Amino acid sequence: MKWQRGRRSSNIEDERSNGSSGGGMRLSGGKISIAGIVLVVAFGLITKQDPMQILSQVLGQIGGNGGSVATQSNTSSTTPSQVDHSRDEFISTVLGDTEDTWTEIFKQQGKTYQPPKLVLFSGSVSSGCGYASAAVGPFYCPADQKLYLDTSFFAEMKSRFKVGTDFAQAYVIAHEVGHHVQHLTGIDRQVTQAERQGAAREGANGLSVRQELQADCYAGVWGHQAESRYNWLEPGEIEDALKAADAIGDDNLQRQGQGRVVPDSFTHGTAEQRVRWFKVGFDSGDMARCDTFSAKQL
């Protein structure tokens, strides 16, 4: 990916110098406090992730039960001298291009795009949605309109999912930006209202799955627009991004983690669904094609 052709964003906040002590959950004696559990559960509900899974990862870290990539990411501590400045430039460029893409799309609709901040952290971070460790992966917090990324997640993509091209990593950032777009357009508030009216959040056809698949589609829309501007993709990169979407489908992750697939607990969609909706966005470049909430079949 010839990302050097793009514009750098200034909307980056670097919290990595704080390391795992910079706002992370306070733990002692190998145990997690009741307050800590409450924070984890609240964060899981806000970010639509399984609180029990997050707790198990955190407790695994405390007990020294290594072996998982998430735990390795959780214990990383990056000092300024260790920062990969080239990777920082890449992240800044991808974010800058999402800003250009969505600014233009919003302008065509008579609206103004308000870009999010992207926070780089190492180990753990304090967000508007609560404290989070690297174990939760990249996430978007609507409360402060910021994206959070521990860059060690990119190493996890390579080691665990065997995907690591620049465009696959850009897809991750663009997906989180997609959640910001949903926030600006009121999708997240509509989801909350529908949930209050009895619509199911989780499950194969739940609101969470539809929301995540739409963010995948929005990531594809960005990819289409960026490629049209810069012609920066190289052979195999689209396939690698699709492989990344496939790898993090609920069915594949559940199969790896617990040996079985439980559709009733899906939150992000199957591998096939995530790939398909990313392709819908990438092939069309049209935000209107990403209406997963009206789709009869995901």
pLDDT tens, residue by residue, 179-198? 999 999 999 999 888 888 87
pTM: 0.73
* 173 band by pLDDT with thresholds 50, 70 and 90: very high
**Residues of the domain holding 247:** 3-16+82-289
Q: What is the pLDDT of residue 33?
A: 43
CA 291, 197, 52, 254 dihedral sign is: negative
232 domain-assigned: yes
Q: What is the pLDDT of residues 113-172, one digit of tens each?
A: 999 999 999 988 999 999 888 877 888 999 999 999 998 888 887 887 677 788 888 988
Crossing angle for the helix pair 152-161 and 237-247, nearest 10 degrees? 90
- Non-local (6+) Cβ contacts of 123 within 8 A are 19, 20, 22, 24, 74, 75, 76, 77, 133, 134, 150
261 domain-assigned: yes
User: Which of 163, 154, 156, 159 is closest to 236 using CA atoms?
Assistant: 163
Q: What is the pLDDT of residues 238-253, one digit of tens each?
A: 776 777 666 655 544 4
65 domain-assigned: no
135 domain-assigned: yes
295 domain-assigned: no
Let me know the angle formed at the C-alpha of 87 by 70 and 218, rounded to the nearest 5 degrees: 75
Domains in the chain, number: 1
First-to-last alpha carbon distance for the chain, in angstroms, is 30
226 domain-assigned: yes
Distance CA 13, CA 195 (A): 33
66 domain-assigned: no
Q: What is the pLDDT of residue 288?
A: 96
